[in-house]
Amino acid sequence: MTVESKPMASIQAAPQWVCPVCGYNMIGEMPDICPFCGARHNTFVTWDEAEQTYRVTPHWVNDYVTQLISAPRLGLEHAAYRIETEDGAVWIDCPSAFNRDLQPVEAIYFTHKDFMGASNQYRQLWNAKVYLHVNDAEHPLAVQFPVDKKTDGDFTEHGVEAFHIGGHTPGFTIYIYRKVLFICDYAFPPGPSMQLNPFGPKNETRKRSSRILEIVSERSLEIVCGYNYTTEFDSWLEDFKRLLGQAR
Ligand SMILES: [Zn+2]
């Protein structure tokens, strides 16, 4: 038997579908409805149609963070973020569309299980290591996606600090790199109408948010990166405190 190098086109082994309503990727046989948002299968697109239609577009947040979001927008997809650390580039969360011409990263750190995107394809293309908290990795929405490190608690790698919060999802993890907080969809929108994420266990989400406040209050941060926003930290913190009933 001879070993041949695989052409680019064979990157994908199993079929994969993308829900244009929420961006969820379905691996294997096409289900009748999207397991995440319930949209019907007649709207689903194949991963390679999605690659041609949706261009994952970087927007600079500061000189070491870029926000990645599709143009056109892929439904309710969550933004991913790229960090240029001194020790290689990494992502916080993962784009829904697979674009093989993006700049590679060494690791994909997930905030939670809801938006795994095309992480399985990027992992295969770049040999990137996928991180997700063990409590989320066991969830039915996440089990199809390969996870290299099922994390359990806080850790620091590539200079990126990870803090296990729980709440919105049992494994929810926030990240801090230098002056930037990655909060995903734990609280939104920025401004006076900020709310905690209403999906999941509401009481637990509120209870665990006090740990977020403890962590971020001790630091001098500048920017908050959320699932569909980036904003300045000080005003975000005031809104977050008010939300928790801890405004002065
Ligand atoms: Zn979520």
pLDDT in tens, the chain (248 residues): 444 444 444 455 689 999 999 999 999 999 999 999 999 999 999 999 999 999 999 999 999 999 999 999 998 899 999 999 999 999 999 999 999 999 999 999 999 999 999 999 999 999 999 999 999 999 988 999 999 999 999 999 999 999 999 999 999 999 999 999 999 999 999 999 999 999 999 999 999 999 999 999 989 999 999 999 999 999 999 999 999 997 54
In angstroms and rounded to an integer, the radius of gyration of the C-alpha atoms of the chain is: 18
CA of 112 to the centre of ligand 1 (A): 7
Q: For residue 2, report the distance from its CA to the centre of ligand 1, in Å.
A: 46
Domain of 181?
Answer: 14-243
Closest CA to 200 of 139, 147, 248: 139
Residue 7 within a domain = no
**Cα(125)–Cα(153) distance, integer angstroms:** 28
Say how far apart CA 48 and CA 98 lie, in whole Å: 8
Query: Is residue 145 one of the residues assigned to a domain?
Result: yes
CA distances from 35 to 6, 30, 48, 129, 136 (A): 32, 11, 20, 25, 16
Flag whether 5 is in a domain: no
* Tens-digit pLDDT profile for residues 81-117: 999 999 999 999 999 999 999 999 999 999 999 999 9
- Residue 8 included in any domain: no
> How remote is the CA of residue 25 from the centroid of ligand 1, in Å?
15
What's 153's domain CATH number? Answer: 3.60.15.10
User: In angstroms, rounded to a whole number, what is the distance separating the alpha carbons of residues 40 and 33?
Assistant: 5
Ligand 1 center to 65 CA (angstroms) = 21
Number of domains in the chain: 1
How remote is the CA of residue 38 from the centroid of ligand 1, in Å? Answer: 16
Q: Cα 193 to chain center, whole Å?
A: 23
Question: What is the per-residue pLDDT for 5?
Answer: 47
Report the alpha-carbon distance of residue 229 to residue 233 in Å, rounded.
12
CB–CB of 115/23 below 8 Å? yes
CA 76 – ligand 1 centroid, Å: 11
Which tokens belong to 203?
């009481």
